[in-house]
Amino acid sequence: MRRLHGLCALILLALSTACAPPPAKAEPAVWIVRDHDSEMLLFGSVHLLPPGLDWRPQTLDDALADADDLWFELPVGPATDQEAGRLAMRLGVLPPGPGLYERLPEESRLRLGRLAVKYGVPPNMLDQLKPWFAEVLLVTTMVGARGADIAHGVERQVSAAAPPAVRLQALESVEDQLAAFDNVPMEEQLASLAYNLQAMEEDPAAFDRLVSIWMSADLAALEAEAVTPLKAVAPALYERLIVARNAAWLAQLQDRLEGSGRTVVVVGAGHLVGEVGLPARLRALGYQVEGP
């Protein structure tokens, strides 16, 4: 079985549809970090979801009702979506020279063409894109075709449920986030795209698995499906998208914990698993962390 990894897996953790039957009782993982005068709940997000999926743990709702501040990766709302689209079109286009198809090996070119036709993405447009942006575009188009939308995703639902007095915070800017994708060496972008094009064709059940894993809080499976293969196939990608961003976010969460009050933090689920995940790193710093 060829597992999804890299951009594709991370996007699926952030942009999955619930195309698999959900567990009888959906309980995505929740962590609670405490010190003498602070409490911080960590929750792994899925940015796009279909309507009607019952995913919200009561622990999350309870923490949200009492929260002083609510943190996301990015500011939540249409303005951020529009800014991301503009920046992606600026950063994600190849410079003059060989197009994307020419940069890929033959079998990957054929797969890219087949998937473009399947999901209605113009091949000529894909040919102008950097590998990371082509991968993002294919995955998000596939997700949209399955009925998911941002309005039913975790961030929009949590933001809408937050009390009016909650302070909204962001861990990074849109430009920071897209730069993490764009600064990956071209060779690894191409390797990730080629790997995941094959996975998208040969193992379509991977999408269902990732959703079920998130819904059932199977963290070992989540790491095995998404993070471990990424480290092996595209180590620079792993360092930029997971390790470096987690380190930057950790510093901000530490600053928040040095104060007092109640905080809810919602970030992509892939950032919360494994030895470099935020819960593990907070435990290593001596914080009391309740959760898996």
Name which of 36, 48, 42 is nearest 252 in CA terms: 42
Distances (CA, A) of 287 to 34, 246, 247, 290: 6, 16, 16, 10
Question: What pLDDT does residue 234 have?
Answer: 84
Residue 112 has a pLDDT of 97
Helix (H) or strand (E) holding 280: helix 278-284
pLDDT at residue number 139: 85
Q: Please report the pLDDT score of residue 259 as a whole number.
A: 94
Tell whether 1 is covered by a domain: no
Residue-by-residue DSSP string for 68-84: SEEEESS--SHHHHHHH
pLDDT value, residue 196: 87
**Residue 78 located in a structural domain:** yes
Q: Show the domain range for 123.
A: 6-290
The mean pLDDT values, 10 residues at a time, for the chain of 292 residues are 53 46 67 96 88 89 97 94 93 97 97 95 96 92 80 92 96 94 93 90 76 87 85 88 96 97 96 96 96 92
Residue 71 region, left (φ>0) first, then alpha (ψ -120 to 50), else beta?
A: beta
State the total domains in the chain. 1
Full-model pTM:
0.89
